[in-house]
Chains A and B, each alone.
Chain A
Amino acid sequence: NAGVTQTPKFQVLKTGQSMTLQCAQDMNHEYMSWYRQDPGMGLRLIHYSVGAGITDQGEVPNGYNVSRSTTEDFPLRLLSAAPSQTSVYFCASRPGRVYGYTFGSGTRLTVV
């Protein structure tokens, strides 16, 4: 099993550009989430999904969209990048509600 795979690992965007962060898991997990990690802020939930076709907002959803057309994939779209979105983004998945997450290795995004 590859676990949770995130691409790209690094990305630099200009303000106003859009892009999609890819996330795929091969563990047949129903639950998937996107977190961002900023210094001194811990991990904050952006969006999550409890199964194909079902998504919902987390703590900091503004400026981001998600979709879940398959169990395996959960891409995160930045609609119009802003410097405040400079962060490290982690995708995570888990098999059910009362289980721990498996995290990907992260995408380091810089918006200039």
Chain B
Amino acid sequence: GENVEQHPSTLSVQEGDSAVIKCTYSDSASNYFPWYKQELGKGPQLIIDIRSNVGEKKDQRIAVTLNKTAKHFSLHITETQPEDSAVYFCAAPRGGSQGNLIFGKGTKLSVKP
């Protein structure tokens, strides 16, 4: 069945460094890839997404890249700040279910001041 693998499960960086989180998906028909940030006690919040007709998208300090051939996509956070500390989830559409999303298991990012 469809699957989304996310790595690493935990990531610790120094403030100002970059952080990269990677995900792979199994359904070659997938065409939409969002990333969510979840802070403690809150619901996930969409931070950036990419559609399959582009290879990269940037929004200030965050960017997402997509490699359709290899079926993987990555989240890049530059100049990390303590407020970037959270759990990040990638997702991809689940085939045959009107595009409902399958989520990766999450990456807990800790940014140390």
Quick check: B44 and A103 within 8 Å, CB to CB? yes
Q: Is the CB of B97 within 8 A of A98?
A: no
Q: A40-B105, A42-B105 are in contact. Are A105 and B99 (CB under 8 A)?
A: no
| Alpha-carbon distance between A33 and B51 when the two chains are bound, in angstroms | 21
Closest to B42 in A: A105
Q: In the complex, which of the residues B98, B99, B103, B104 has the most CB atoms of chain A within 10 Å of its own CB atom?
A: B98
Chain B residues with CB under 8 Å of A56's CB are 97-98
Which residues between 52 and 100 of chain B lie within 8 Å of chain A, taking CB atoms? 89, 93-94, 97-100
B105 and A50 within 8 A (CB): no
Task: Give the docked Cα–Cα distance between A45 and B105 (Å).
Answer: 13
Cα A106 to Cα B41 in complex, Å, equals: 8
Inter-chain contact A48/B97, CB cutoff 8 Å: yes
Q: Which residues of A contact B101 (CB under 8 A)?
A: 45, 101
The one of B31, B100, B104 in contact with A48, judged by C-beta atoms closer than 8 angstroms, is: B100
Q: A42-B105, A43-B89 are in contact. Are A105 and B43 (CB under 8 A)?
A: yes
Chain B proximity mask over A50-82: 1 for CB below 8 Å, otherwise 0? 100000101000000000000000000000000
Contact of A100 among B46, B94, B98, B104 (CB under 8 A): B46
CB distance from B70 to the nearest CB of A (A): 21
Find out whether the CB atom of B51 lies under 8 angstroms from the CB atom of A42: no
Q: List 23 A-B contacts (CB under 8 A).
A: A33-B100, A41-B105, A42-B89, A42-B104, A42-B105, A43-B44, A43-B89, A44-B103, A45-B100, A48-B100, A50-B98, A90-B43, A92-B43, A97-B93, A97-B98, A98-B51, A99-B32, A100-B34, A100-B36, A101-B101, A103-B36, A103-B43, A103-B45
